[in-house]
Chain A
Amino acid sequence: MSTSFRDWIAGRSVFDRDMTIKQKEMLLGYVLILPSVLLVGASLVYPVAYNIYLSFTEIPVDPTQSPEWVGLANYQALVSDPEFWEAVQNTLIFTFFSDVGATALGLGVALLFRNKFRGDGIMRGLVLLPYIAPLIAIAFTWRWLLQPTYGIVPHLLQDVLELYPSGTNIRETLGMVILFDTWRYFPFAFLLILARVRSIPNELYEAAKIDGAGRVARFKDITLPELKFVLAAVFLLRWIWNFNVFSDVWLFVGNNVPILGTFVYVRGFNTIPPNQGYAAAVANLMVIGLFVMVIGYVKYFLDW
């Protein structure tokens, strides 16, 4: 009996030839997804599993020595580490406010672009600039603007508006990072929201105008419900990215304002002696925390 590749794929001659067509189809399905499963397994499951293992060990500096099993010691240390809790708090504040900021600003700008106008293609390109520009360049521009001794923003806020006492390093405030991230990521929200904004039928607004609804009512009763899902999706994506953020905050404020991402890095690689098992434990808690938040969000807010 000849065993062609086709026969083999379809499970003929390899498995029981008395299988029903449905069973054969199922088998074929598994065979077809096997490569993807292996690839995902190797690239995703292995690092995560290895990280979980590392979080229960103490890793010696000398790479020739193997990690030493310490059980839950890293997690116990973590719970009573005030710096960890500070990082958690900072992360939540940063995640929430820069998410709300970027989404709201993106929505506002997208609404300005609802109707096409002369040159709106170029304007749209300009709006995307903060998102496209290399992070390293804009982070340094912002740092320069916010320089405590000669930056223009500290001068305005401290000496002109007297919002806070001079001498405070504005670069060290979480508020500035939130502002920076709002500015940097609103174009992303803008892009997704704009596509939806432009697909809202104009007739709905016209019907509402005839019905006597004002601008605010039209926004509340037509625009917002139509954008509900895209806003929720943008908020979710920004939440995930902000929660895991590292480079933006690191380039901007370094270790002056610890968030979970930078905290992991500092503990794992930037302290003497480095404590990589501890860092792995923090990273695991981040995954679990984020997972719980996302599941809860999707379940209660998104209704997908």
Chain B
Amino acid sequence: MTRVTLEGVSKVYNDAQGTERAVDDLNMTIGDGQFAVIVGPSGCGKTTTLRMIAGLETVTEGTINIGDREVQDLAPAERNVAMVFQNYALYPSMTGRENMAYGLKHAGGMSKDERDEHVTEMAELLEITDILDDTPDEMSGGQKQRVALGRAIVREPDVFLLDEPLSNLDAKLRSEMRRELQRIHRDLDITTIYVTHDQKEAMTMSDRIAILNDGRLQQAASPEEAYTQPANRFVGEFLGSPSMNTVERSVDGETVSLFGQELGTIDSTGADGRVRNVVFGLRPEDIVVGESRDLSATASVTEVEYQGDGNFLFLSVENTDMTVRAPASVRPSPGDLVTAGIDRANVYLFDADSGEAISLKNQAVQ
């Protein structure tokens, strides 16, 4: 049973440039056998978090548990974790086989034949049997990636850590390796923590997604939940491509309206008693062009991008720019006036100051 728990984990860097909190009071639980993805923009602390779990960075505050063991003060080798690095970090002087057997050799308790057997077995799973005797400089990027994966999982670690492992591969290979990783995870059922800046990778692969920004956890949930019920504006905008359209409006009384149409009512005063501003979030795929919905407005088309399977329309609604993902059949010309509509249920609401999601007290009645 390998559950990974982070409690109040912080990382503070102190150097000549001053003090920086790279990770701030992080609380997170990754269940046994889960595939968890930590995602966020660069500099959000996701790699630092992973390196703290691996033992490559010290933990300034808080505790990390792997299974029942508190590990934050243990050396990397004592944690029984395996890690795949962004640049693979294969040992250049060793063959694929030696690379994969290196950890087994140092773990001890296995004869050379046993080690060989394990490596061969893992190589079969990864389909790299024929390159086992090559050195890393003779391998292609995809092959190196597989050997690096093999090196990590052959040790049967309690936790499998991956730091942007696919970012050096081309698009086709990346999607292939994505499926491969999921297959391996299904086969071996190892608790996996995967770091990426790519929200698409995060959404497609994970059982659980943790979104980080500025060293703080924004939301930890299933991908569906994070997408459909974002905890705050950052999560709403970060997930999804093209990203969510946002419109900031001040609230008049308790009623929130968008483009002159009532959406519903909220508690109009914040904690400090002032009228609050809200941000509407509208996902590009929720906006319909050419039909009226709960809320509709007339928009002028500024640009159309052909995407093959559909079009991205760039609209201007009352001087607000909107991106719409439309089916291929909807293809207006720049300058056209169209009707754009959205259903009430699809409009997200956030507090403009704190960014927190706001729920409506009452939906406006049609």
Contact = CB atoms under 8 A, between A and B. Distances in A.
B56 A211 contact: no
B89 A204 contact: yes
Given A209-B56, A210-B54, A213-B106, A204 B91 contact: yes
A201 to B, nearest CB: 7
Interface stretch (B78-86, B110-118, B137-145): B78-86
B75 interface: yes
A208 interface: yes
A25 interface: no
A212 B94 CA distance: 16
B81 A210 contact: yes
B77 A210 contact: yes
B352 to A, nearest CB: 42
B93 interface: yes
A225 interface: yes
Nearest to B98: A221
How many A residues are at the interface, by size bracket? 10 to 19
A206 interface: yes
Contact of B77 (A203, A212, A221, A226): A212
A211 B93 CA distance: 16
B93 A206 contact: no
B18 interface: no
A207 B94 CA distance: 14
Given A207-B89, A207-B91, A213 B102 contact: yes
A211 B108 CA distance: 11
Given A203-B85, A217-B106, A210 B91 contact: no
Nearest to B102: A211
Interface in A185-220: 201, 203-204, 206-214, 217
Contacts of B54: 206, 210
Contact of B75 (A201, A203, A209, A225): A209
A48 interface: no
A209 B76 contact: yes
Given A210-B55, A210-B77, A211-B77, A221 B94 contact: yes
Nearest to B93: A225
B84 to A, nearest CB: 9
B103 A211 contact: yes
Contacts of A210: 54-56, 76-77, 81-83, 103
Contact of B83 (A204, A207, A212): A207
A211 B75 CA distance: 11
A211 B91 CA distance: 11
Contacts of A211: 77, 102-103, 106, 151, 155
A130 B82 CA distance: 45
B318 to A, nearest CB: 51
Contacts of B93: 221-222, 225-226
B107 interface: yes
B102 A221 contact: yes
Interface in A218-261: 221-222, 225-226
Contacts of A206: 54, 56, 76, 83, 85, 89
A38 to B, nearest CB: 42
Contact of A222 (B91, B107, B155): B91
A212 B85 contact: no
Given A221-B94, A225-B93, A208 B102 contact: yes
B103 A203 contact: no
B87 interface: yes
A208 B94 CA distance: 13
Given A203-B87, A207-B83, A212 B107 contact: yes
Nearest to A222: B91
Contacts of B260: none
Interface in B49-96: 54-56, 75-77, 81-83, 85-87, 89, 91-94
A212 B106 contact: yes
A214 B155 CA distance: 17
B85 A207 contact: yes
A201 B87 CA distance: 10
Contacts of B81: 210
Contacts of B151: 207, 211
Given A212-B77, A213-B102, A221 B91 contact: yes
Nearest to B54: A210
A177 B193 CA distance: 59
Contacts of B103: 210-212
A8 to B, nearest CB: 47
A212 B85 CA distance: 16
B261 to A, nearest CB: 55
B89 A203 contact: yes
Interface in B137-190: 151, 155
B22 to A, nearest CB: 17
A201 B89 CA distance: 8
Nearest to B163: A203
Nearest to A207: B89
Contacts of A225: 91-93
Contacts of B106: 211-214, 217
Contacts of B77: 209-213
A209 B76 CA distance: 6
A210 B76 CA distance: 5
A211 B78 CA distance: 10
A201 B107 CA distance: 23
Top 10 nearest A-B pairs (CB, nearest first) are A225-B93, A212-B106, A212-B77, A211-B103, A203-B89, A207-B89, A210-B76, A209-B76, A203-B85, A211-B102
Given A204-B92, A206-B54, A206-B83, 16 more contacts: A201-B87, A203-B87, A206-B56, A206-B76, A206-B85, A207-B83, A207-B89, A210-B54, A210-B77, A210-B103, A211-B155, A212-B77, A212-B106, A213-B106, A221-B93, A222-B93
Interface of B: 54-56, 75-77, 81-83, 85-87, 89, 91-94, 102-103, 106-107, 151, 155
Interface of A: 201, 203-204, 206-214, 217, 221-222, 225-226
10 contacts: A203-B86, A203-B87, A204-B92, A206-B54, A206-B89, A207-B151, A211-B106, A212-B107, A221-B102, A226-B93
